[in-house]
Amino acid sequence: MKLMPNCREEYKRRHDQIWPEMVALLKGRGVSDYTIFLDEESDTLFAVQRQSEDGPSSQEMGSHPVMQRWWKYMADIMETNSDFSPVSKPLKRVFHLD
């Protein structure tokens, strides 16, 4: 994902004040240990999350009203698609160690 120029502080502020209903949605879908990293040179965001294997896919959350509202809330500070979802690029795992 990618931030608009000069939006780092606002992005952090909004996540520091994440809505309780967004937290409930994520946890209710089995998401835990969710971390977002920032590459300060490019304003690129990289998110890592754990998801329970028996729960629904986190990708299915895009149709949930809370997620759609969050996307619209973040759209002024991030690159987005026409549905306000963040422009993202899937990455291929090349190494993992437990």
Q: Which CATH class is domain 8-74?
A: alpha beta
53-66 burial string, b = 16+ CB within 10 Å, else e?
A: eeeeebeebeeeee
Each of the 98 residues of the chain gets a pLDDT tens digit; together they read 999 999 999 999 999 999 999 999 999 988 989 999 999 999 999 999 888 877 666 667 889 999 999 999 999 999 999 999 999 988 899 998 98
| Residues recorded for the chain | 98
Please identify every residue annotated as catalytic: 15
Rg of the chain, C-alpha, whole Å: 14
- Domain assignments of the chain as residue spans, ordered by start: 8-74
